């Protein structure tokens, strides 16, 4: 066997992706093998809902750097002429209280380990979506992912780079017995797999089959729940079988704002989709298309900061919020935000953490069904906890709780935290246009705004909208931008008071997918150049 003398992570020349068109079905993800898993299910008689679940389960295997079987999930589904929202973010353990954290001598939740682990919602999401809207049995839908886990798959280039970076960081931070199964699974022999290396997760294959055969009940009530409970008790965790058994995903009504004659839909809190809605609602009264690139970027950055200032103060588990989400997207509130957009960078009264690690995917079929779906651990691999013998890597979403007892997002038992992952959807005149999303922690609503402005204000095709250089507000007046934005634009932003950091690394700026339904029923798809993504089309 001849080993190549080339490097799959280095590209000497700029590559170009084009919009992909299809008629009978389309699956867009960050991983070619996951997109193909979704297409397999479509070809076997499944619909878009079956396909997106198949792809999501496959992503839990082939891109563990961003998600896993122990992830949370959210979805927006267009079916039967209506939008349906699913919130499958998990609640905190019953024993997670401020008193318990203080008893352990801590003044904040750590980023890794058991304490930030909430109940994972993704397995419940897969089962709920297929049961309500799918056409195939769950065992058929999850079979491609189980095959990938058992037979192994070659790791893609961007995933391999993120895997190596993560292992280097985790080795320097995590050393307790609770983390040994994590390293045993994801760094076999001590090293992260490189591009093209074949990786297997045979425990994960058995877990996926157990989830499929039981409609996810094995995860929340059966043997898998027992394994999670036992490992938590052995290694200092708070998550219990009772916490798992008490969990149910929630069907919710999406929220929207009108933007440039389109309706932009996001899910209501505890997610941060409302940040994108507030920012877009504030920008809707401003002629962005008539501005220079620098002026347009400035207006969007200011709108995002204003929206985050509200969300980081108010967004929480809706049972504990002080204001109704609908009030935050009311005409009066959006006009008030718009009036605060000035000519220079303002200093917002809030700070936001910088963490990410998510997969966004979408699917559509020839019958008109469309799904916008997002799934995530958080901070890459998540908590650094893998339950022995299961292949389940657990999320660390509880880290987003506030330690301020007066805050609506204050840490507490059986509570959902402020959540960063958000699927989006576009309609016009009551008709579906399609799903869109940009993953990546607190970058996500910022990515939603930028991609929509590219498409709806500047009339750029979905692929060009994803290709365009991006910025990201970090905190205060700090903004990170891609070098491709250009020296002149960067200089103008600095002249307006923005503290601009320039980078060649596209990783922090999110990774998106778009599917747009044309008037003739054909599908137009685009996928992120900052990831390994691809579109499987039929």
3-class DSSP assignment, residue 221: coil
3-class DSSP assignment, residue 491: helix
Confidence check: pLDDT of 232 > 70: yes
How would residue 175 be classed by pLDDT, with cut points 50, 70 and 90?
confident
Report the C-alpha gap between 241 and 161 in whole angstroms. Answer: 35
How would residue 16 be classed by pLDDT, with cut points 50, 70 and 90?
confident
Phi, psi of 294 (to 5 degrees): -65, -45
- Active site amino acids: 358
For tokens 């685009």, the residue is: 526
**Which residues have CB under 8 Å from 454's CB, separation 6+?**
460, 464, 465, 468
pLDDT (tens digit per residue) in 308-346: 999 999 999 999 999 999 999 999 999 999 999 999 999
Task: Take residue 459 and report the two structure tokens written for it.
Answer: 């009339």
For tokens 């020296």, the residue is: 487
For tokens 């949370």, the residue is: 72
pLDDT (tens digit per residue) in 47-79: 999 999 999 999 999 999 999 999 999 999 999
What is residue 530's DSSP assignment?
Answer: T
pLDDT score, position 357: 61
Confidence check: pLDDT of 1 > 70: no
Phi, psi of 232 (to 5 degrees): -60, -45
How would residue 296 be classed by pLDDT, with cut points 50, 70 and 90?
very high
pLDDT (tens digit per residue) in 140-170: 999 999 999 999 999 999 999 999 999 999 9
Task: Take residue 103 and report the two structure tokens written for it.
Answer: 């008893």
- Name beta bridge partners: 20: 525
Dump strand ranges (E) for 143-246.
153-154, 198-199
Dump strand ranges (E) for 91-166.
153-154
**Which residues have CB under 8 Å from 429's CB, separation 6+?**
none
Q: Closest by alpha carbon to 207, among 70, 90, 40?
A: 70
Confidence check: pLDDT of 353 > 60: no
Mean pLDDT of the chain: 95
Residue 117 contacts residue 395 (beta carbons within 8 Å): yes
- Least confident range from 8-22, 359-373, 415-429, 469-483: namely 8-22
pLDDT (tens digit per residue) in 432-480: 999 999 988 899 999 999 999 999 999 999 999 999 999 999 999 999 9
3-class DSSP assignment, residue 265: strand
Task: Take residue 176 and report the two structure tokens written for it.
Answer: 């307790």
Q: In what order do the strands lie in the sheet with 471-475?
A: 471-475, 478-482, 499-503
pLDDT (tens digit per residue) in 91-136: 999 999 999 999 999 988 999 999 999 999 999 999 999 999 999 9
How would residue 262 be classed by pLDDT, with cut points 50, 70 and 90?
very high
> Vertex 307, ends 92 and 334: CA angle to 5°?
125
Confidence check: pLDDT of 189 > 90: no
pLDDT (tens digit per residue) in 176-188: 999 999 999 999 9
Provide the angle, in degrees to the nearest 10, between the axes of the packed helices 122-133 and 138-151: 140
Q: Closest by alpha carbon to 228, among 101, 379, 383, 359?
A: 383
Confidence check: pLDDT of 359 > 90: no
Percent residues over pLDDT 90 in the chain: 89
Report the C-alpha gap between 85 and 267 in whole angstroms. Answer: 7
What is residue 317's DSSP assignment?
Answer: -
| Domain boundary assignment for the chain | 22-463+512-538
**Which residues have CB under 8 Å from 438's CB, separation 6+?**
360, 444, 446, 447, 448, 450, 451, 510, 511, 512, 528
> Vertex 456, ends 438 and 277: CA angle to 5°?
55
Q: Is 215 left (phi over 0), alpha (psi -120 to 50) or beta?
A: left
Residue 150 vs residue 189, higher pLDDT: 150
Confidence check: pLDDT of 352 > 70: no
Q: What is the mean pLDDT of residues 346-370?
A: 82
pLDDT score, position 462: 94
pTM, rounded to two decimals: 0.96
The 10 Å Cβ neighbour count of residue 511 is 28
């Amino acid at each position: 066997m001849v080993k190549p003398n080339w490097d799959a992570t280095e590209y000497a020349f700029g590559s170009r992706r084009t919009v992909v068109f299809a008629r009978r079905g389309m699956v867009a993800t960050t991983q070619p093998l996951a997109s193909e898993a979704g297409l397999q299910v479509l070809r076997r008689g499944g619909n878009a809902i079956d396909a997106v679940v198949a792809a999501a389960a496959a992503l839990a295997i082939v891109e563990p750097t961003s998600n896993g079987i122990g992830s949370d999930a959210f979805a927006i589904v267009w079916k039967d002429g209506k939008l349906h929202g699913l919130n499958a973010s998990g609640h905190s353990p019953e024993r997670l209280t401020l008193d318990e954290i203080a008893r352990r001598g801590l003044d904040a939740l750590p980023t890794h380990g058991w304490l930030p682990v909430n109940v994972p919602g993704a397995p419940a999401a897969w089962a709920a979506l297929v049961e309500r809207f799918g056409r195939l049995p769950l065992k058929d839908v999850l079979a491609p992912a189980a095959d990938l886990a058992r037979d192994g798959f070659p790791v893609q280039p961007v995933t391999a780079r993120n895997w190596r970076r993560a292992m280097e960081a985790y080795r320097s931070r995590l050393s307790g017995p609770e983390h040994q199964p994590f390293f045993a699974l994801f760094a076999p022999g001590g090293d992260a797999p490189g591009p093209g290396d074949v990786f297997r997760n045979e425990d994960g294959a058995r877990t996926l089959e157990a989830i499929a055969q039981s409609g996810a009940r094995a995860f929340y009530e059966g043997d898998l729940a027992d394994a999670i409970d036992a490992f938590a008790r052995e290694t200092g965790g708070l998550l219990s079988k009772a916490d798992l058994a008490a969990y149910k995903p929630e069907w919710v009504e999406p929220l929207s704002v009108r933007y440039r004659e389109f309706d932009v839909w996001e899910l209501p809190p505890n997610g941060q989709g409302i940040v994108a809605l507030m920012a877009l609602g504030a920008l809707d009264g401003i002629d962005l298309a008539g501005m220079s690139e620098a002026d347009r970027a400035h207006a969007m950055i200011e709108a995002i900061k204003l929206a985050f200032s509200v969300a980081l103060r108010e967004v929480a588990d809706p049972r504990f919020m002080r204001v109704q989400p609908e009030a935050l997207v009311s005409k009066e509130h959006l006009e008030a935000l718009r009036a605060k957009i000035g000519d220079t960078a303002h200093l917002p009264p809030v700070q936001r953490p910088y963490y990410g690690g998510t997969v966004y995917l979408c699917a559509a079929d020839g019958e008109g069904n469309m799904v916008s779906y997002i799934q995530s651990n958080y901070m890459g691999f998540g908590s650094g906890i893998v339950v022995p013998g299961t292949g389940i890597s657990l999320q660390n979403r509880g880290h987003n709780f506030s330690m301020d007892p007066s805050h609506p997002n204050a840490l507490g038992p059986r509570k959902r935290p402020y959540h960063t992952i958000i699927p989006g959807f576009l309609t016009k005149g009551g008709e579906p246009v399609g799903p869109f999303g940009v993953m990546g922690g607190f970058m996500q609503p910022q990515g939603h705004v930028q991609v929509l402005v590219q498409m709806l204000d500047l009339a750029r095709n979905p692929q060009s909208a994803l290709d365009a250089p991006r910025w990201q507000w970090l905190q205060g007046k700090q903004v990170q931008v891609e070098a491709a934005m250009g020296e002149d634009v960067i200089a103008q932003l600095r002249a307006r008071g923005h503290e601009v950091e320039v980078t060649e690394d596209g990783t922090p700026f999110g990774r998106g997918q778009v599917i747009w339904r044309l008037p003739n029923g054909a599908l137009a798809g685009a996928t992120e150049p900052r990831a390994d993504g691809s579109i499987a089309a039929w």
